[in-house]
Chain A
Amino acid sequence: MGMGLMVLNIPAGRPVTMKQAAETLHIDEAAIDHTYGIVPLDPAQGKYAVRVTTERVSETSEPVYADPVIEPF
């Protein structure tokens, strides 16, 4: 099961719920990793990230960014 990251833009200062995130990204809410949450990337600009299961967002036209495995050097 592959994971990816999706970015959503919400007007700054507005609280974001999982439901809103899913609607904004046009994906099933179940595709979002709820334990990861909605992570502010640039809250002043209303930019957030969610982690998604890539298989469950294959139909979306929104960008899905890679979430590769990183390791210590």
Chain B
Amino acid sequence: MAQDRLIHVLVEFESSSYVRNAVEAAAHSFGHFQIPPEALPLGLKIEDIDAGFEPLKRSKAASGFQRLLMGAPTETESIIVRATIPCARLQDLIAANGDSCRIYEDPVIAPFPMSPLHLTDRPLGTAEQVTRQLGLPALTAAELTGEGVAIAIIDTGIDVARLQARGVTARVFPRPESSHTPRANVRRFSPEHGTMCAFAAHLMAPHAALIDVPVLVPHGHGQSQIQALLSEALLAYNDLSVMLEERREAANFTSLVVSNSWGLHRPDDGPNNGQPQYHNNPNHPVRDAIDRLIRNGADVLFAAGNCGSAAPGPQCDRDPDKQDKIFGANGYQDVLCVGGVDVENRLVPYSCSGPGMWSHDKPDLAAPTHFLGSEARGTGTADVGTSTSCPVAAGCVAALRTKLPAQRMSPTDLADVLRQTASFGRDNVWNEGLGFGVIAPVRAAEKLGLL
């Protein structure tokens, strides 16, 4: 604490007979009750006193306060004044008066600011801040750049021209072709969301290739809703698994990271032949497809979702009991579920908290979001949501995979290391907001012997 810094305090002191007499005398002289200089505690000067604050009397017998103006204090009442003094005098004041004087800090208070996240898409930082915070220079110096790694973006599609305009030079490969998805059948449309995700994935792994897997496509009147059936994601996982198993396009990559910034905004509750739904069925076939992908060496990441009860989006369930739930594939044990923090590592209020429905400790990690990045949704707009956090984390994983292919460390084991090395957590104890903490690729690289 700087000794010359002024501090606002409340000073409470006993009303000794000397003090009471001084107050009475002042009242006779000035016509009202006030604290004369001689009645103040030792070391407290009249110029220290805040004249705009009416002195108070506090009763020792009955809790409560009265204004001194209401009458002279009695021997059972103490007096409280407000003062502003240099920090350097604080100890002297306490020492000079002993138990007869008590000093309380009078801190500045203010209304809780309304989170800008409630109001606007205004960025709360920049992509440069994100990469600096996550240690891109250290990773780059160690040649952990994502070279030889591919990141599959399971999303709405990637606008390569926009990415290039934002300085991203990654190679972008189309979705691997399988007998189920001839490329001619893959629909394309305005892919803001997917482009945002691709940009985020590239931040920490600038030499990684991207695989564009457009699954979410327009539906509804005017094609206004971007969505898909879950089975389309299952199909995409099959294509990626086949690619890995047959080593076709995968010949270009040593590792594959799969980023999923989608899910259900609310539990599915439609009738379905008496069977459990997707959100509450741990044996859903999409789990087999994801398990197969992970067995094939792919790291699979999912966004936690944007239905955090502190600021649920309009599409979220209005029932608070159904918010802040991580269900379906987003909460499977072997995927990395990623919540959102801002560039100062504060949990963003819309980030879905845990626990997970299937695996308690979800989300696993958090990663930055709500920063100025791709501007895919418009000039000056932030890249938002756990949709952004997930690919940022995927880029971190891709960076580590540069020198650590799945043959050397399984996705499950790498996920454990990422949990153990996360920052800003609580001593590696899971909590419902950040999981085990904010992803820390440099710490992970150190633990893995890659730095």
Give the interface of A toward B (CB within 8 A).
Answer: 2-5, 7, 36-37, 39-42, 47, 49, 51, 54, 57-58, 60, 63-73
| A68 proximity list for chain B (CB < 8 A) | 229-230, 264, 268, 270, 277-279
Name B's interface SS: mixed
B288 near A47 (CB under 8 angstroms)? yes
CA A73 to CA B268, docked complex, whole Å = 16
CA A4 to CA B281, docked complex, whole Å = 14
B231 near A51 (CB under 8 angstroms)? yes
Among the listed B226, B229, B232, B235, which residue makes an inter-chain contact with A72, where contact means beta carbons less than 8 Å apart? B226
B148 to chain A, nearest CB (A): 27
| B275 proximity list for chain A (CB < 8 A) | 63-66
| A63 proximity list for chain B (CB < 8 A) | 275
CA A35 to CA B52, docked complex, whole Å = 80
A39 near B273 (CB under 8 angstroms)? no
* Of listed A49, A57, A58, residue having the most chain B CB within 10 A: A49
| B235 proximity list for chain A (CB < 8 A) | 36, 39
CA A61 to CA B273, docked complex, whole Å = 9
| A65 proximity list for chain B (CB < 8 A) | 272, 275, 278, 281, 284-285
Among the listed B233, B261, B270, which residue makes an inter-chain contact with A2, where contact means beta carbons less than 8 Å apart? B270
Which are the 6 A-B pairs with shortest beta-carbon distances? A68-B268, A41-B288, A66-B278, A64-B273, A73-B387, A66-B277
Residue tally, chain B, CB below 8 Å to A = 49
B234 close to A (CB within 8 Å): yes
A69 near B228 (CB under 8 angstroms)? yes
B289 close to A (CB within 8 Å): yes
CA A60 to CA B385, docked complex, whole Å = 41
Which residues between 392 and 436 of chain B lie within 8 Å of chain A, taking CB atoms? none
| A5 proximity list for chain B (CB < 8 A) | 230-231, 234, 284-285
Chain B 213-245 per-residue mask, 1 if CB under 8 angstroms from chain A, else 0: 000100100000111111111110010011000
B425 to chain A, nearest CB (A): 23
**Known contacts A37-B179, A47-B288: A70-B263 contact under CB 8 Å:** yes
| A4 proximity list for chain B (CB < 8 A) | 272-273
**Known contacts A39-B180, A54-B272, A65-B275: A70-B227 contact under CB 8 Å:** yes
Cross-chain pairs A/B with CB under 8 angstroms, 19 sampled: A3-B231, A39-B238, A40-B238, A41-B234, A41-B285, A41-B288, A42-B288, A47-B288, A57-B273, A65-B275, A66-B278, A68-B230, A68-B268, A68-B278, A69-B227, A69-B230, A72-B261, A73-B303, A73-B305
Given contacts A60-B273, A66-B272, A72-B261, 13 further A-B contacts (CB under 8 A): A5-B230, A41-B285, A49-B231, A51-B229, A65-B281, A65-B285, A67-B231, A68-B268, A68-B277, A69-B228, A71-B262, A72-B227, A73-B305
| B234 proximity list for chain A (CB < 8 A) | 5, 39, 41, 49
B292 near A42 (CB under 8 angstroms)? yes
Among the listed A51, A60, A67, A70, which residue makes an inter-chain contact with B262, where contact means beta carbons less than 8 Å apart? A70
Minimal Cβ-Cβ distance residue in B for A58: B273
A72 near B216 (CB under 8 angstroms)? yes
| A71 proximity list for chain B (CB < 8 A) | 216, 225-227, 262-265, 315
**Known contacts A65-B284, A68-B268, A72-B216: A54-B261 contact under CB 8 Å:** no
| B264 proximity list for chain A (CB < 8 A) | 68-71
CA A71 to CA B235, docked complex, whole Å = 16
A34 to chain B, nearest CB (A): 11
* Of listed A2, A49, A67, residue having the most chain B CB within 10 A: A67
B193 close to A (CB within 8 Å): yes
Minimal Cβ-Cβ distance residue in B for A41: B288
B367 to chain A, nearest CB (A): 13
CA A50 to CA B180, docked complex, whole Å = 12
